[in-house]
Structures are given as C-alpha cells and as structure tokens.
Amino acid sequence: MNEYYNGTRKQVPNTVDGADDAEIKKGEDAAGKIVYSGFVAQEVEAAAEKFNYEFSGVDKPHSKDGLYGLRYDNFIVPLVKAVQELSQQNDNLKKENEELKSRLDKMEAIVLKSQYSIVDPEMAAKLEQNMPNPSNGTTTIGYYLPSNHTHANINLYSSNGSLLKSVRISGNGKGMITVRTNELAAGIYQYALIINRKVVDSKKMVLIK
C-alpha cells in the first residue's frame, strides 16, 4: 500500500529538518503493527454476482490502477435477511422433526402393542411333552392355561383317533396332570389340549410294556 500511494503521491517540499516525513513515517509504523480483519472485496463481488445480487457494499475501481473498497455498513441488511431466512428454515426443520418423531412414536407403539397383545387368548395356551416318554406305568403332562378361558380339557386318543380318556383342568397359568397308562396297550397315542372346545395343541405319547 505504501508503494502504491507513494508512487502516485505528489511530492511536497519538506518542512525544516523533514518533520512532516518523520510524522508520516511514525503513523505508518504504528498502523503497520495492527492486524486488521476484513473481507476480500473481489470475493464479495464474486459471491454477489453468483446469486445475481446487486450489492452496494463493493466499491469497484474506476481505472486500471484503481483499488477496490468495501462499505461495511452495507453488509447489515443482507446479513439480517440471511439470519431471518436461516431462522425460518430452522423453525421448519424443527416442526418437521417433531412431526416425524410423533409418527415414529406412534409406529413404535403399534409394533409393541402387536408384539405383546393377544388377539386370541387361546394362542397363549401351551401343552408340554409328557414325561417320561416313552412311559410304562404313569406319565405327567405339563400345560399352561390363559387367564380368560371358560373350559379346558386334556384328551387322550388312540392311534385311530378314538377318545380314550378326558381330564378336566382348571385354573390359570402352569399346571400338571398325571396319567395312568398301565391299563393301555403298548403303542403310540396322541393327547391334545382343548380350550373352549377348540384343539389348541397336541403331542404324541409312546407307551411300552
């Protein structure tokens, strides 16, 4: 900058003992110790042209050797406008995020409900394999009954499907019955859990002698 201005500045006769030049040099040295912050005018101009924005804050040179300049007070309006637009975009994103979160919470609630709710109470019933199997005298059969059943039985069938024995069971949750098999012939039998007159589960039983 000194070279630019000194090269075009008219030479003025110095006062006695060069006092004027000494004062100017002193001021230049003091200013040279300050680190100034700012924008590059050409970059500001290029950014404004990119968005087709006529920005009054850039002073363009009027000659080949002229200098660029910036009017920093002119930055206030576009900066405020930019902050307003970003604030609006942020509000829109927050609203959209809240709507998506609400939808996600509803979907999670539906999934959890479908996992833990029982449409048909009989589907919670369970029939276990008899122990021991094969058996040769007595055997035990474990089961699980849902809370809202009205009638439940464990039926024993022959290999041809004939009903041989029916045991009424009651209560809720886990239970167990003991079946005497010593009066039955050796062979393969089938037993089933009947709830509200529906077969909900069945197993095979092997009897030996």
Helices and strands in the chain: count of H runs, count of E runs: 4, 9
Identify the band that residue 155 occupies on the pLDDT scale cut at 50, 70 and 90: very high
pLDDT digits (tens, 9 = 90+) for 106-140: 887 777 665 544 445 445 788 999 999 998 889 99
> How large a percentage of the chain has pLDDT more than 90?
42
3-class DSSP state of 52: coil
Q: What is the pLDDT of residues 15-67, one digit of tens each?
A: 555 666 777 788 878 888 888 889 999 999 999 999 999 899 999 998 888 88
> For strand 163-169 and strand 152-157, is the pairing parallel, antiparallel, or unpaired?
antiparallel
Among 168, 207, 163, CA closest to 188? 207
Q: Which tens digits make up the pLDDT trace of 74-96?
A: 999 989 999 999 999 999 999 99
Residue 62 structure tokens: 């009027």
> What backbone torsions phi and psi does residue 81 show, to the nearest 5 degrees?
-60, -40
pLDDT of 124: 76
**Which residue type is seen at 115?**
Q
Q: Is 126:195 a contact under the CB 8 Å cutoff?
A: no
- The partner residues of 201 in beta bridges, in order of sequence, read 193
pLDDT at 146: 85
Helical residues (DSSP H) of the chain, grouped into ranges: 2-8, 19-32, 41-50, 76-116
Q: For the chain, what are the domain ranges? A: 2-26+34-70, 73-117, 121-207
Q: Which two tokens stand for residue 104?
A: 């996600």
Residue given tokens 């100017």 in the structure block: 24
Structure tokens at 174: 């886990």
| Topology annotation, domain 121-207 | Immunoglobulin-like (2.60.40)
Confidence (pLDDT) at 8:
57
User: How many C-alpha atoms does 201 have within 13 Å on its Cβ side?
Assistant: 16
β-pairing, 163-169 with 198-207? unpaired
- Provide the whole-model pTM: 0.43
Cis peptide before 134 (omega within 30 of 0): yes
Beta strands in the chain (DSSP E): 58-59, 69-70, 126-127, 138-145, 152-157, 163-169, 173-180, 187-195, 198-207
